[in-house]
Structure 1
Amino acid sequence: MGFRIRRRSTMAAIALAAASVSAGAFLVSSPATADEGVRVDGAGRLVSLSAPVGRTLRPDSGTDATKQATAHLKALAGRFGVDARSFTVERTTAVPGGSIVRFQQTVGGAPVLGAQLIAELDTKGGLASLHGHVSATGERAANPRRQAGDVKGRGRQAFAAETSVAAGSFEESEPQLAWFDPALWAGTSSQGQVRLVWSVKVEPTELEGWGGEVLLDADSGAEVLRLSDKHEISRAICDANSTYVASNSACASKSAKRVEGGAATGIADVDAAYNLFGATSTFYQTNFGYDLTANIGSTMSGDRTKRLRGTVRACVTGYGCPMENAFWNGKGMIFGPGFTTADDVVGHELTHGVTEHTSGLVYSSQSGAINESLSDIFGEYIDQTDGLGNDSAGVRWDMGEDLPASIGVIRSMSDPTRYQDPDKVSSSYWYTGTNNSAYVHINSGVGNKAAFLLVDGGTFNGQTITGLGMTKAAQIWWRTQNTLTSSATYKEMNTVLPAACRALATAGTAGITAADCQQVDKIVLATEMNLTPAA
C-alpha cells in the first residue's frame, strides 16, 4: 500500500479529578452519608446539594427544563444565602440523561462577573445537583459616575500597549456595566471589595496581536483588571541535521534551534515546524478554546516549562536516513526532512496528542483506525483554514499534497479508494490482515469519507447529502472526539456522531440545526458505520 504516516506511542489511560476550592464556591458533593447530599458552611449556609442515588428532588413545574430548574432555585436559594430573584437564566442545554441550566447572578440589573449557579436535572426534571459561585454583593444600584462614553477607546489602548500593535488594529465592544468581585476569582469571601465596572471586550482586526477584556472602574475610570485572550503557546524546535535520534526523544530547550519568541533561523525545516505548530495551536484555541500547549505540551529535565516540542531532519533506527516519516511519540514530534512543510501532516500528528488526552482511543484495530481518521480530519481541517500551503481545488482533500515530491500525496479523503482505502465498511478495500499499522491507516478511510461528506456533501452509496461547511463540521467532530470511548468502533461512531450533532443543535452551537443532523444520519448510513466489518 502507499506510505502511511505512523505514530509511535504507547497509549495510557489518564484520569482527571476535580479539586475542591475554598469558601465562596458551591460544589457538587458526594452524598455518602447525608440524607440529601447536603454540605453547609460554618454559618449554616448550604454549600452544595446533590441527590443520593435513586432519589431526586422534584418541583411541580411541568416538563420545561428552564421552569423546572427555576422552581428548584426558588425553593433552595435561601439555603445558599442568596435571593433567587437575583438570578436570571443564561442558557439551558440538553445533555444525555437530562439538562443543564446555568443561572447568572445580577445586582441592580448588571451581571456579577463569574457569579453563576448551575442546576443539573434528570430526564424528568429532578434536581441531581445545584452548584456554582455567588457573590455577597447585597442589593445596590448600578449607578456609575463615569459613563460609557468616558471609557470608550480605553480597551484598544490597553491592548495596543500590551501587544505593541497600533490601536487602530483593534475594535472594541460597547462598554457594559458589570460587578467585579475579586473573591470569586480567588475563592475567598467577598469582604466588601465588590465594585461596579465597565466591561470592554477587544478583538484584533488583523492577524497580529491578541484581544481580551478590560474592566474599568465605573467611578474613577481606572483599569481594574485585564483579561487577555493571548494563547500562551510555547514551542521548542531542535534540528537533528540528518543524524539519528531515539524514537522516544523530545527537544530540550537548551538544544533547540528556536524556542518561543525566537527569531527565524533560516533553516527551512526548523522555521516551518515552528510556524505550523503555531497554526495548529491557533486552530484548536480559536475553534474549541483548547490550549494545545497546556494539554499536550511536555516538560524536560532542566526545562519545567510546558512546550510543544519537535525535532526536524531526524533519522530514527528502523526508518532509515533520511527518514521519510513523521510521528508523535507522546512527548513531542519527530520529523524526517521536508515533512514540516505539510500543514495537514503537522496537524495530523499533533492531533494524536490531542486524542491521547481526550478520547484516549487505543491505537489498535477499529479504535486505532478512528484514531488515525481523527488525525486526518483535524489535520485537513487545519490545512484548509490556515491559509498556508497548496489548497487548490484539485488537492483540497488530499493528505500530504505539500510533502516532498519523493513521497507525494498519501491519502484522499474525498475518495479514499484512489489509494486503495475503504470509503465504507463493506468496501473490498477494508483491510482484514494482522498488520496493525496497515489496519489503522487503511481503515481510517471510512471516517475520512464521512468527514469530507460532512463539509462538502455529495451523493454517495444511495444517499444525497447537503454539506454543512467547515465550521459546523469541526464542532461536530470535536464533540465526537470528546465523547468516544477508548475502545470505540465504527458502530459506536454510528451512534456518537449523530448524537454529537443533536447535542450541539440543542445547545445552539455554531448555528447547527436539527436539519443539519439529518445530513449526519445520512452520512453514517452511506459509510455503513452500523455494519460489522469483515473479520
Structure 2
Amino acid sequence: MGVRLRRIVGVTALVTLTGLASINAAHAAVDPQQQDNTARVTRDPAGRVTGIAAAAGRSLRAGHSGDAAAQATAHLAAYAGRFGVDAKAFTIDKVSTVPGASVVRFQQSVAGVPVLGAELVAVLDSANGLASLHGHSSTATNRSATPAVKAGALRGKARAAFAAEADVAADALDEDAARLAWFDPAIWAGTPSQGQVKLVWSVKVEPKSLAGWGGEMLFDAASGTEVLRISHKREINRAICDVNSSYVSTSAVCVARNATRLEGGPVSSVVDVNDAYDLFGATSSFYQNNFGYDLTATIGSTSKGDSVRRLRAIVRACVLGYGCPMENAFWNGKGMTFGAGFASADDVIAHELTHGVTEHTSNLTYSSQSGAINESISDIFGEYSDLTNGLGNDSAGVRWDMGEDLPASIGVIRSMSDPTRYADPDKVSSPYWYVGASTSAYVHINSGVGNKAAFLMADGGTFNGQTITGLGLAKASQIWWRAENTLTSSATYAELYTVLPASCRALVTAGVGGLTSADCAEVDKVVRATEMNLTPRG
C-alpha cells in the first residue's frame, strides 16, 4: 500500500543495514496475557517469559529495607529461571527512582561484552518488594569476544559518515572511542534469537554545536563493514538568541553574551524570542509540576564561553541546506534552532524536548518499534503538556492534533484521536501499519498506535470492541511517565502491552496520582483495543 508521507517536524533517523535482514521486517508477538490473582505474565512467540507483573496491592517477591540495588539483584536471581536466563550474565546498569518505587536496569553481557538492547528492568515498590520484571535477552553464549578488526582501523569513519550526511565539516563533530558490543537484531523485533548475533564495534558521534547531528554506527568486528547506522537528526535556566533571518554558522550556539533574552530578563520586542522562552518554560513546568523532573538539569547544555547549564535556542534562523526563510525547527542535543515563526507550537516544542528526556530515561533506540514508541512518547507528552499549559489553540476541533500552532505552510502533522486521518495506524492490525524500508517513515507513522492509546487512556471512547472510560490527563500522565522510566531501550509494543498495565497497578500500590484498580481495568482495555499484543504485518 502506498503511504502518503508528510513533512515531519521531529526526530529523523536513517538506519542502514548491511548483510542482515532489516530489523523492521520482523516484529514481536505475545500470547494473550496469562493472569491470576497474583501475577500477569507475558511471553514471546517461542513461549519464553518476557514480563511478569504483580496485581495491584501485591508484590511478586517480598523485600525489606536497605539498598534497592542489592534487593533487585536478589529478585533477579530468584526469577532468572522463569526468563530462561542466567542471572550472572546481568549486571546493574542504572538505578533510578520514581514516585513510590525504585527502577533497577540490568544489562546482559556475553564474554564480558554487553549485548545491545538486552536488558531486564526490575521495578521495586516502596518496601523493595518486586512489583514487576520485564525485558529482553539474547541466547548468545560461549562466544569469542576477540575482534579480527582493531578499533584503530575504524577511527574517523563514523565521524566522516555523519559529517557527510549533515553536510558539515568533520571537525564539527566529536567521535567517541569505539567499544565492543554484541548486536542481536531479534531483540528489537521482540522475537527469539536465531543465530544472527554479531560482535560489533559501536562508535558514537555527537555535534559540538548546533550544527549537524550525530548518532551511533556499528561495524562488524570481523570485517569492518557497516552493520547499522542510527542517525540522531532531531528536528524542533533559558537562553534565546535572535539572528533575524540570517544564516547561522557551523559553530553557532546561543551563549549568554549573545542572548536576546536570558532567564529572568525583560520581554523582547521579537515575538519568536518570547514564544521560545515561554514554551520552554511551559514544558519545563509540565515536567516539574507533574513528575518533579528538572529539564534544565537533565537536558540543558553548557557551551564554550557559557558554562552555565541552560535550555538554549536560536530563533529566526537560516541553515544551509534548509533555505531562508527556513520552514523547519530542529533539536540536536545542544539546543533548538527555529526558522521564522516556528517557535510558536507548544506541542511540537514539548515533543522535541521530550526526546532529550527519553535519552535520559528509557533511552529508546531510534529504530524499529522502539523508535516508533520513542516518537509516540514525544507526541504524548507534547500533547499532554499542550492541553494543560493554557497556551495556544486548544479548541475542541484541534484538541488532539499535533502542530495546530505551526505556520500554515506546515500545519497539522498528526492526529492522536484518529491517526488514520493522516494515514497512520490506530491499532497494530491496521492496514496503515508501515512496513517499508524508510526508518523515518516507520517510526513516525507507526507511532500512531501509541498515540491512539494515549488519547483513549485520557479521554476514553469506544474503539475496536472496547468501551473505555477516560482517566483524565493527570492520571494518564502518571502512567505514561512510569512507563517511560521502565521501558527497555529495545522496547516493542508487546512490551508496552505489559508495562502500561503494570505501571498503573504499581501506582495504585504506591498510592500515587489517585489511581485505582478500576482505572487499571480501563488501561487493560486500552492496550487490547490498540492490539499491542499482536504481531504487526510484514
Task: Name the CA shift for 1:246/1:452 in 2 (closer, same or farther; >3 Å).
Answer: farther
Task: Name the CA shift for 1:322/1:371 in 2 (closer, same or farther; >3 Å).
Answer: same
Percentage of pairs with the same residue: 68
Please show how residues 189-200 of structure 1 align to structure 2 within 5 Å.
none
Q: Which amino acid aligns with 1:429?
A: Y
1:6 corresponding residue in structure 2: 10
Q: C-alpha separation between the residues in 1 aligned to 2:260 and 2:13?
A: 25
Task: Name the CA shift for 1:252/1:533 in 2 (closer, same or farther; >3 Å).
Answer: same
CA drift of 1:321 comes to 2.4
1:411 corresponding residue in structure 2: 414
> Is 1:348 matched with 2:351?
yes
Deviation by residue 1:360-399 (Cα, 9 ceiling, x = unmatched):
1111121111111111111111111011111111111111
Task: Name the CA shift for 1:524/1:404 in 2 (closer, same or farther; >3 Å).
Answer: same
> Is 1:319 matched with 2:318?
no
Please show how residues 373-392 of structure 1 align to structure 2 within 5 Å.
373-392=376-395
Q: C-alpha separation between the residues in 2 aligned to 1:402 and 1:507?
A: 38
Deviation by residue 1:182-212 (Cα, 9 ceiling, x = unmatched):
xxxxxxxxxxxxxxxxxxxxxxxxxxxxxxx
Contact 1:360 1:486 in 2 (8 A): yes
Contact 1:339 1:345 in 2 (8 A): no
Match of 1:254 among 245, 249, 257: 257
SS at match of 2:277: helix
Q: Which amino acid aligns with 2:524?
A: D
CA drift of 1:54 comes to 6.5
Q: Report the TM-score when normalising by structure 2.
A: 0.60
1:464 corresponding residue in structure 2: 467
Q: Which runs of 4+ in 1 moved over 6 A?
A: 50-55, 91-98
> Is 1:429 matched with 2:437?
no
Deviation by residue 1:457-515 (Cα, 9 ceiling, x = unmatched):
00011111110001000000000100111111111111111111111111111110111
Contact 1:9 1:328 in 2 (8 A): no
Contact 2:402 2:416 in 1 (8 A): yes
Please show how residues 228-377 of structure 1 align to structure 2 within 5 Å.
234-245=237-248, 250-377=253-380
Deviation by residue 1:326-355 (Cα, 9 ceiling, x = unmatched):
222011112122111111111111111111
Task: Name the CA shift for 1:339/1:466 in 2 (closer, same or farther; >3 Å).
Answer: same
Please show how residues 136-285 of structure 1 align to structure 2 within 5 Å.
234-245=237-248, 250-285=253-288
Q: C-alpha separation between the residues in 2 aligned to 1:276 and 1:236?
A: 12
Match of 1:505 among 508, 515, 526: 508
> Is 1:481 matched with 2:452?
no
SS at match of 1:339: coil
Deviation by residue 1:388-432 (Cα, 9 ceiling, x = unmatched):
111111111111111111211111110011111111111111111
Q: Which amino acid aligns with 1:6?
A: G
CA drift of 1:299 comes to 0.4
Task: Name the CA shift for 1:498/1:357 in 2 (closer, same or farther; >3 Å).
Answer: same
SS at match of 2:471: coil
Q: C-alpha separation between the residues in 1 aligned to 2:525 and 2:68?
A: 42
CA drift of 1:249 comes to 5.0
Contact 1:8 1:328 in 2 (8 A): no
The structure number with the bigger radius of gyration is 1
Q: How many residues align?
A: 344
Q: Which amino acid aligns with 2:257?
A: K
Q: Report the TM-score when normalising by structure 1.
A: 0.60
Q: C-alpha separation between the residues in 1 aligned to 2:68 and 2:398?
A: 53
Q: C-alpha separation between the residues in 2 aligned to 1:518 and 1:250?
A: 48
Deviation by residue 1:132-160 (Cα, 9 ceiling, x = unmatched):
xxxxxxxxxxxxxxxxxxxxxxxxxxxxx
2:525 corresponding residue in structure 1: 522
1:446 corresponding residue in structure 2: 449
CA drift of 1:269 comes to 0.6
Q: C-alpha separation between the residues in 1 aligned to 2:254 and 2:443?
A: 28
Contact 2:125 2:506 in 1 (8 A): no
Q: Which amino acid aligns with 1:273?
A: A
Task: Name the CA shift for 1:463/1:301 in 2 (closer, same or farther; >3 Å).
Answer: same
Contact 2:301 2:335 in 1 (8 A): yes
Task: Name the CA shift for 1:491/1:98 in 2 (closer, same or farther; >3 Å).
Answer: closer
SS at match of 1:310: strand
Q: Which amino acid aligns with 1:398?
A: D
